[in-house]
Amino acid sequence: MKCKLLVIGAGPGGYVAAIRAGQLDIDTIIVEGGRAGGTCLIRGCIPSKALIHAADKFEQMTAHASDGHLGISLESRPVLDFKATMAWKEGIVDRLNGGVEGLLKKAGVRQIKGWAMFRDAKTCDVETKSGIVTITAEHVILANGSKPTELPFLPFGGDVLSSTEALTLTKVPKKLVVVGAGYIGLELGIAYSKLGSEVIFIEADTRILATYDKELTAPVQQWLQANDITVHLGAKASGWKDNILSYTDKDGKAQTIAADKLLVTVGRKPNTEGWGLENMAVDMTGAFIKIDKYCRTAMKNVWAIGDITGEPMLAHRASAQGEVVAEIIAGKKREFNPNAIAAVCFTDPEIIAVGLSASEAKAEGIETVIGKFPLMANGRALTMDAGDGFVRITARADNHVIVGIHAVGPHISELSGEFALALEMGARLEDIEGTIHVHPTVTESFAEASLAALGHAIHI
């Protein structure tokens, strides 16, 4: 087979690139070894958020069954049919998977299901159910994604789970130990705690969510404490045998914990092995494929997007890169140079980080002003029983251009788009102040934070 564009990987980077290329009348083939949608849709973002939503519902109903809540009480505790919950989750995945395949077909993209092995930069052999298919292309987009990092002394298998297996369980474990208190571990650990598991975290760092500042993570830490979830900080796992985890605590003392399941979430690594990358003559930067602002690799007409190109490993970054590359191949003038990419942690409460914090700005020599507004002063947040948290804006002191927006609170992830838009458009504090925000909504907290930075907040 021959084509102008060959896309490897049908995740959020690859399928967006292929769809946009098809819309631009580029003859495109996309190869995917699994199901269209990639890690995000099939075994990551979507199924985990479905599980988190179900866990929230179960926790809320359980609260109504005790002393009652919000004046609502249930005569008995809710009953969890976890197999049915997971079937509901899979129904969502199936629906979205079918939607992606339908969109690829609508755009005229040829889909090949199989594993690609590159002979050289523009030719690969794809192992399909019906045999080997050889594809030669003028352009190649590598969108191979990433996979969970496996510790050599805690190999995945049996009762040792990666995030993938944690999303396919059919029974809620009575006791779950999570190695790693980053965003993946905390999202899944908190969800399983709400579903009834006794959850314990083992984290090598001295605090949870080490990539976020302490002010943002403090409400999550408080939630863990309020719900009697043990977090061993400065602790290092060392082995697993007969459902007993061995680790050293912060004082260097050997300890053990027995558990039904062990979830290992110590990060993700790029999928760069097993498909002939070494035959493509591309440059690397550490474990990642090196690209420029156009997502070009060192090999002419070979492009790379998404997790295999480095941090941040976020689906929406991959999608944006995919669209840019497709348009460049079509002859349009594009580059991937965003002002900021929002990152969201779906813990309880949720966290948003866009742009620079005050300390990061200071490190870059930027003098700043900061405005912070607590959600407990926001009427809509209180009506949703969601008053924990805040919105914080960091802006330049000289011209009030916003350089960072951070927030923590229940349901706060839905504000991430507005925050990213503000930074992408180079908004100043006065722009946010002058935008009339609907009342009553949580977004009013964004306007109030800008007023606080200007020195005249109304509601605090």
CATH of the domain at 128: 3.50.50.60
Same domain, 114 and 260: no
CA-nearest of 205, 170, 191, 213 to 404 is: 213
In this predicted structure, what is the pLDDT of residue 438?
Answer: 97
Does 440 sit behind a cis peptide bond, omega within 30 degrees of 0 on the bond before it? yes
Residue 444: the pLDDT is 97
The structure tokens listed for 150 are 């496996």
Domain termination site, one of 329, 357, 376: 329
Q: Does residue 130 form part of some domain?
A: yes
Termini Cα distance of the chain: 65
- 155 found inside a domain: no
Question: To the nearest 10°, the Cα dihedral for 12, 110, 305, 100?
Answer: -10
Domain extent, residue 366, equals 343-454
Judged on CB neighbours under 10 Å (0-12, 13-18, 19+), 191 is buried
Q: Compute the average pLDDT of residues 306-312.
A: 97
Same-domain status, 39 and 110: yes
Q: In which region does residue 63 sit, left (phi positive, over 0), alpha (psi from -120 to 50) or beta (all else)?
A: alpha
Q: Answer whether residue 335 is part of any domain.
A: no
Q: Is there a single domain that holds both residue 223 and residue 356?
A: no
Q: Which residues pair with 128 in a beta bridge?
A: 131
- Same domain for 414 and 433, yes or no, is yes
Report the C-alpha gap between 134 and 150 in whole angstroms. Answer: 32
Q: For the domain that residue 443 is a member of, what is the CATH number?
A: 3.30.390.30
Do the Cβ atoms of 418 and 432 come closer than 8 Å?
no
Last residue of a domain, one of 246, 266, 286: 266
Euclidean distance between CA atoms 319 and 209, whole angstroms: 25
Judge whether residue 79 has pLDDT over 90: yes
Q: How many CA atoms lie within 13 A of 15 on its CB side?
A: 27
Residues with Cβ < 8 Å from 356, sequence gap 6 or more?
Answer: 364, 366, 394, 403, 404
Residue 394 has pLDDT above 80, yes or no: yes
Let me know if residue 387 belongs to a domain. yes
Q: Tell me, what's the pLDDT at 229? A: 97
Instruction: Give bridge partners of residue 7 from the DSSP assignment.
Output: 30, 141
**Tokens of residue 388, six digits:** 């924990």
Q: How far apart are CA 369 and CA 210, in angstroms?
A: 24
pLDDT digits (tens, 9 = 90+) for 151-210: 999 999 999 999 999 999 999 999 999 999 999 999 999 999 999 999 999 999 999 999
Same-domain status, 286 and 354: no
Q: If DSSP codes are grouped into helix, strand and coil, which group holds residue 381? A: helix
What are 392's strand-pairing partners? 372, 406
Residue 16 to residue 23: CA distance in whole angstroms: 11
**In the predicted model, what is the mean pLDDT of residues 206-224?**
96
> Going by C-beta distance under 8 Å and a sequence separation of 6 or more, which residues neighbour residue 372?
390, 391, 392, 393, 449, 452
Residue of 53, 316, 439, 456 marked catalytic? 439
Q: Are 419 and 446 in contact (CB under 8 A)?
A: yes
Q: What are 32's strand-pairing partners? A: 113
What is the number of domains present in the chain? 3
Q: Is 437 a catalytic residue?
A: no
Q: For residue 281, which of 399, 142, 87 has the smallest C-alpha distance? A: 142
| Helix extents (H) in 28-146 | 38-43, 45-64, 82-106
> How confident is the model over 114-143, as a mean pLDDT?
97
In a domain, 460, yes or no: no
The arithmetic mean of pLDDT across residues 333-348, rounded, is: 96
Residues 178 and 141 in one domain: no
Residue 153 lies in a domain: no
3-state secondary structure 302-340: EEECHHHHCCCCCHHHHHHHHHHHHHHHCCCCCCCCCCC
What is the pTM for the complete model shown? 0.95
* Token pair of 325 as six digits: 């590359």
Looking at the structure, do residues 25 and 100 belong to the same domain, yes or no?
Answer: yes
Asked whether residue 368 is domain-assigned, the answer is yes
Residue 237 pLDDT exceeds 90: yes
Rounded to whole angstroms, the Cα distance separating 42 from 179 reads: 23
What percentage of the chain exceeds 70 in pLDDT? 100
Query: Quick one: 361 and 425 in the same domain?
Result: yes
pLDDT in tens, 22-76: 999 999 999 999 999 999 999 999 999 999 999 999 999 998 987 778 889 998 9
Shared domain for 131 and 22, answered yes or no, is yes
Q: Mean pLDDT, to the nearest integer, of 410-420?
A: 96
Task: Kindly state the average pLDDT of the residues 411-416.
Answer: 96
What is d(CA 26, CA 32) in angstroms, rounded to the nearest whole number? 19
Does residue 220 contact residue 349 with C-beta atoms inside 8 Å?
A: yes
Residue for token pair 């002393």: 67
**338 occurs within a structural domain:** no
Residues 218 and 135 in one domain: no
Q: What is the reported pLDDT for 427?
A: 98
| CA-only gyration radius of the chain, Å | 24
Query: Is residue 139 domain-shared with residue 281, that is, in the same domain?
Result: yes
Q: Say yes or no to pLDDT of 373 above 80.
A: yes
Q: Which of 239, 266, 293 is the last residue of a domain?
A: 266
What is the structure's pLDDT at 185? 98
DSSP string, 232-274: EET-EEEEEETTEEEEE-TTS-EEEEE-SEEEE-S-EEE--SS
Calculate mean pLDDT across residues 224-235: 97
Q: Largest alpha-carbon pair distance within the chain?
A: 69
187 and 86 belong to one structural domain:
no
Handedness of CA 411, 417, 420, 422 (dihedral sign): negative
